Structure 1
Amino acid sequence: MYMIDIDNTIAQQPFNDLQIEQLVKNNTLEILSISLAKNAMFPKHVSPKDAHLIVLEGNINFHIQNQTVNLKEQQHFSFSKEVEHWVLAKEDAKFLIIR
């Protein structure tokens, strides 16, 4: 019988400054759940791999290469590895990073 494991990490992740939860990590895939309270910032950093960002709820400004990309609920954005970027929450927000 196949074992079904439901994970409620995203739903339970609080809006308390910056919260990062690793949902999946294996040799080929990593999925992070990020929660940002309104006006909280995910500081400047780079991704070790090309990545996809999917906004689950809220509204964020994604800053990359002197550009600001406003992303809202249910929008998707891709970005390249090793490019410095940072995120500011315009309102309480949750998003996934898939890389």
Structure 2
Amino acid sequence: MIDIDNTIAQQPFDGLQVERLVKNPALEILSISLAKNAVFPNHTSPKDAHLIVLEGSINFHIENQIVNLTTQQHFGFSKEVEHWVTAKEDTKFLIIR
């Protein structure tokens, strides 16, 4: 059976929106939507993770650095390292862990 999901396309730009696309013992995929100037507050990941920007641009704050990421860029980071995100414009990205 083929199952098409439109969650990412339908996810609004309204502050911070988090949708779980996949969750099983081996993998979790989150779709994050951030409106311009919105903040994904300080937190950690329970697993090593990868962030893929689908559209827009963000500042990823980690280990006293700011990593600027934009559409179609990928960034990997380690588990249990505090980080937070600010949106420079309306942005959607995936977290894969």
The TM-score, its normalising length taken from structure 1, stands at 0.98
SS in structure 1 of the partner of residue 68 of structure 2: strand
| Deviation of the 1:91 alpha carbon | 0.1
Cα deviation digits, residues 63-92 of structure 1 (max 9, x gap): 000000000000000000000000000000
Q: Partner letter of residue 25 of structure 1?
A: K
Q: Is 1:67 aligned with 2:68?
A: no
The CA distance in 2 between the partners of 1:91 and 1:70, in whole Å, is 12
Is residue 2:3 matched to residue 1:5? yes
DSSP 3-state at the match of 2:13: coil
Structure 2 unaligned runs (5+)?
none
Q: How many pairs align?
A: 97
Which one has a bigger Cα radius of gyration? 1
Alignment counterpart, residue 39 of structure 1, candidates 14, 37, 40: 37
After superposition, the C-alpha distances for 1:2-59 in whole angstroms (9 at most, x for unaligned) are x000000000000000000000000000000000000000000000000000000000
- Quick one: percent identity of the two aligned structures? 82
- The residue aligned with 1:76 is 74
Pairwise CA RMSD: 0.1
Which structure 2 residues correspond to residues 79-90 of structure 1 after superposition, within 5 A?
79-90=77-88
Task: List gaps (5 residues or longer) in structure 1.
Answer: none
* Secondary structure in 2 matching 1:16: coil
Partner of 1:53: 51
